[in-house]
Each structure stands twice: as structure tokens, then as C-alpha cells.
Amino acid sequence: MQPFGHALSVFVPGYGYWQVYRHFALIASGLERLGASTKVDPFSATIGVVLWSFTFLHYSTEPMFVALDMIELLAATAVVVYGQRALNDYWRARPGPSVEERVLPTDWLAMGVAAAYFFSWVLSYMTAPTN
């Protein structure tokens, strides 16, 4: 696998959905192999990404599109949390030495930038002039 080519392939229409399905199927098979109680459904994760991408390519201050943006953000967040919890359970259940759980300073920085972007986005919609 070429990481750069893999990253670029998400721009191929429909192929990104297949990648999401494959990634979550891999997580699910790892959990199943270890006998972990956590289960992951690749199809549900793919549906979440489809919802996210359905509203991804529009920019409007119309109330309907603002509501769709909120659905987009919720779907994307749900998919990330769903996958991350499953990966955390996999790392806890796998044999071998335990893995230290931590949030790196760069993770905090990324979360801070994302939160600032989100709040500026919400503020710009709330304060936009109306006709």
C-alpha cells in the first residue's frame, strides 16, 4: 500500500465509502479474533460517512443547509467516536504488554483548532445579516 496514493484515492467517487467499509471490517475482524465484547458494524460506519459526504459540498446560510451541516457534523463525529472506541477496546484486549493511553500535546492542539473553527462557524451563522 502506498500511503499517499491511499490518501488521494478518497477523492475517487464512491471508493472512499469502500475504504471506510474495509477499515471498519478490519477493526471488526480484529475484535472478533480476540473475543472482545465490543462489536463494530462496517455498514453502519459507511452509512455515517455517506451522511457526512451528502452535506459536505455545500455552503449556504439558508436554515435548511445549516441544519444539514449540523447533521453532517454529528454523523462525522459519531463515525470517529465509533471507530476510536473500537480501536481502544482492541488495544486493551490484545495479548502482550499493556499500551499507555494518552493524549499528545499535538492532539490537544488539533482539538483546540477544531473547536475554535467550529465555534467561529456557528458564530458566523448566528450573526449573519438577514434580509
pLDDT digits (tens, 9 = 90+) for 83-126: 888 988 888 888 888 777 777 889 889 889 988 988 888 888 77
Q: 64: how many CB neighbours lie within 10 A of its CB?
A: 8
Residue 16 and residue 10 in contact, taking contact as beta carbons nearer than 8 Å: yes
Query: Hey, is 128 helix, strand or coil?
Result: coil
Burial of 14 (0-12, 13-18, 19+ CB in 10 A): exposed
Residue 49 pLDDT: 83
First to last CA, the chain: 52
Residue 94 pLDDT: 85
Place of cell 483548532: 113
Model confidence band, residue 70 (pLDDT cutoffs 50, 70, 90):
confident
Rounded (10°) CA dihedral 111, 113, 118, 119: 110
Question: How far is it, in rounded angstroms, from Cα 101 to Cα 106?
Answer: 15
Residue 1 pLDDT: 56
Question: How far is it, in rounded angstroms, from Cα 13 to Cα 112?
Answer: 31
Give the pLDDT confidence of 35-69 residue by residue, as tens digits: 888 899 999 988 888 877 776 666 666 777 777 77
Place of cell 499528545: 104
What does the pLDDT average to over 66-90? 84
Question: How far is it, in rounded angstroms, from Cα 34 to Cα 90?
Answer: 8
